Every structure is written in C-alpha cells, then in structure tokens.
Amino acid sequence: MAQQIVAGFAVYFVIWWITLFAVLPFGLRTQAEDEHVILGTVESAPTKFRAWRVVLVTTLVSALIYGTWYIASRYFGLSIDSIPQIVPSYK
C-alpha cells in the first residue's frame, strides 16, 4: 500500500514538473515589452513574476492530467504496455 502511494506521488511530481515548464511562459511580460528596464537586469527579465499564480495553475493542470491518467489506468486498464511499439526488424 505504501509503495503505491509513493509511486503515485512520484508520477504526480513528474507531471507537475513538466507542467510547470509548460505554464511558466503564459502571461509573462518582459521588461522590454513594458519598456521599463531596471538597471542591472536583462530586458528579458519579467516585470512582475507571479509565482503563486504559476504554482496554482501548475497544480490544477497537473491534478487534471494525473486524474485522467489514474482513471485510464485504474478503471480502463491502460498502461505503458497498451501503447503499440514499433519494433525494428534487422535483416
């Protein structure tokens, strides 16, 4: 039982991490876009980084993805082995 919980958490963490990098650029405004470059920073630096918003959106999206994966694997029996594989034939 504990092993299933740890494995589930590990899968959720991987999904969360990948989703984080997909969510990061949404709504980002750089200093160059606002024409408000602060001395000592690059133009591509964000003007207002909303970390809590990014974490919340990442958590919600990854929970939706994880829930879909859980339902597909638990109730429909889909797994990695269900994906067709292309096996190269060597002659």
In the prediction, which pLDDT does 66 show? Answer: 94
| pLDDT per residue as tens digits for the range 40-71 | 888 888 888 889 999 999 999 999 999 998 89
| pLDDT per residue as tens digits for the range 6-17 | 988 999 999 999
In the prediction, which pLDDT does 65 show? Answer: 96
Domain boundaries, the chain: 2-82
In the prediction, which pLDDT does 36 show? Answer: 73
The residues with which 30 forms a beta bridge, in sequence order, are 46
In the prediction, which pLDDT does 91 show? Answer: 65
Report whether 51 contacts 57 (CB < 8 A): no
CA 46 to chain centre: 20
